Structure 1
Amino acid sequence: MGGGRFSGLSERQRSYLRHVFQHRRSHEIAYIEGVSARAVDKQLLLAKDLIGATSRHEAARLFAEHEAGVEGLYPASIAPSRPAFWPLPLPLPTRAHPLNLLSWKQVLAWGVIIAIAAPIAITVAAMLIVALMLLSGTHLR
């Protein structure tokens, strides 16, 4: 498919597309090639239509890629996978991940975990202190 659309280009059209790829304007190409700017525009329009490009610059880029042997890539049919929600990455920077790029769902999950775990941890710590005080015989007055 890619080679077929370029095989119909004339040598003149190929030359003009190379000039366009070098960012030359029609009047510059005309001066270099010894033709009129109108003739250059006409040949570039034909080349653009033959290649199926939307502009002469796109046609020149596609032709340059063709000459360089670059194959056109089709878009991937499979969307990139989303980062896993679970297990939650740590909300603090680590050596392995100096930047933490948590999604909003992961931030929300960490918020819920901290909101539940903090009161439980404080209660357990207070119970431990009271138990140690009772074992040691120290009383609160």
Structure 2
Amino acid sequence: MFKFIDENGLNVDLRFDEGPFDVEPKHVLTLVQHKGKWLCTIHNRRGVEFPGGKQEQGETLYQAAIREVYEEATVVIEDVQWFAYYIVHGEIPFCKAVFTAKVKDIEPFVGDFETDGVLWLTEEELWQQPDLSFYMRDAGMKKMLQEVKNHERQW
């Protein structure tokens, strides 16, 4: 387990297994890399971030990951794989499941969806992005991207 304190001063536990969970995941985050670049969305308040969101009633976390990526970026994904989860220990703790996925199709971006745009960034461009969302700047995100690289070497 990797522990860190986020920008809001909250303790966060990051794990690279599939549970059991102290707090059931109800949110998803999906890391999509295509042609050496990461899929990022532009949230109108938080800034540049990986696509994700809340699981809706009746859907699995995998279905939520697929839906959120499409709603936020108009990108169709496949080969969705469980990767990690993290628990933010706030007043009401919450858990987010993290997935990796491959691009199946990229449709033209529709501006009235949930985000203000899509960016495809190399890792270097990602860390140089001045408008990163608060959760993208923390130690957990750096650890996740490092672990993605480690997994890629094993495949």
**TM-score w.r.t. structure 1 length?**
0.21
Q: Which has the higher helix share?
A: 1
Larger radius of gyration: 1
Q: Which has the higher strand share?
A: 2
